[in-house]
Structure 1
Amino acid sequence: MRKALLTGLLLLAACSSPPPPAPPPPPAPAEAVIGQTVVPGSKAPSGHIVPNVVGKNHQEAQDAMQAAGFYRLAEEDATGRKRSLIMDRNWVVVEQNPQGGTVLDPKETITLRSKKYTD
């Protein structure tokens, strides 16, 4: 009987203690805005994140843009000589607009400025 009473008191004491406080909710993610630069790895609900292709072969840069969902691509000769980029693999991207990490609507145009490897 005494053992049952002691067990009952311990059980009552365990049940009467307040529950531990709930952990605070995680902070709400910031809404990405088109044209805003976001932290890599975050989701951009209002557009796609533009990949950084500066330093890549022009053909590889185009492939990366298309893999990210961007198909409206413009290209320019970065030397100002207005040459056409015929053999994409002979060129390297030296500048892009908008820059990598920017959230952009996939219907917008991305400009890749490249120069020949021999320039």
Structure 2
Amino acid sequence: MRNLLIATAAAAGIATLTGCKAETPAPAIPPVASTVTVPAPSTPELPEASTAPTPAQPSVKLIKIPNVVGVNHQTAQDTMQAHGLYNLREQDATGQGRLLLWDRNWVVVRQTPPAGRRVKPDTVITLYSKKIGE
């Protein structure tokens, strides 16, 4: 056995001197567990909350509903629109469900919301009318 060790050492020495590599298998390297750390994306710094008062939201301009009771239906519609109220509905005040085809032949007998109330421009205004002379 001693002779075998000497022969192996001598062969390794000769291989080193001549530049030859010995055909010895590479020792097994155990796998290394690696952990990759990825930095978190940077977030821009937010300004600190201000204690100064914030400006109020712009207020909606309220419109005073004009009184159109007793006026012919076409004039009532024109009056509402002149005040900035365009979301208009019409009803047959007699309950017969008739359509107001010729607005000038009808007179407003009731309106909702009532005259004088202040409302937003998109408020629904309903004009209840009946034919003139009914």
TM-score normalised over the length of structure 1: 0.61
Give aligned pairs, total.
75
**1:115 is matched with which residue?**
130
Q: Unpaired runs of 5+ in structure 1?
A: 1-44
Q: Distance in 2 between matches of 1:107 and 1:116?
A: 28
Report the alpha carbon displacement of residue 46 of structure 1 after superposing the two structures with TM: 4.3
**1:16 is matched with which residue?**
none
**2:87 is matched with which residue?**
72
**1:93 is matched with which residue?**
108
Identity %: 55
- SS of residue matched to 1:59: helix
Q: Give the letter for the 1:104 counterpart.
A: V
CA RMSD of aligned residues (A): 1.0
Deviating runs (4+, > 3 A) in structure 1?
A: none
- SS of residue matched to 1:111: strand
Q: Distance in 2 between matches of 1:98 and 1:115?
A: 18
Alignment of 1:25-36 (within 5 A): none
- Larger-Rg structure: 2
Q: Distance in 2 between matches of 1:46 and 1:100?
A: 17
Q: Distance in 2 between matches of 1:75 and 1:54?
A: 13
TM-score normalised over the length of structure 2: 0.54
Q: Give the letter for the 2:122 counterpart.
A: K
Of structures 1 and 2, the one scoring higher in RCO (CA 8 A, sep 6+) is 1
Q: Distance in 1 between matches of 2:126 and 2:77?
A: 10
**1:81 is matched with which residue?**
96
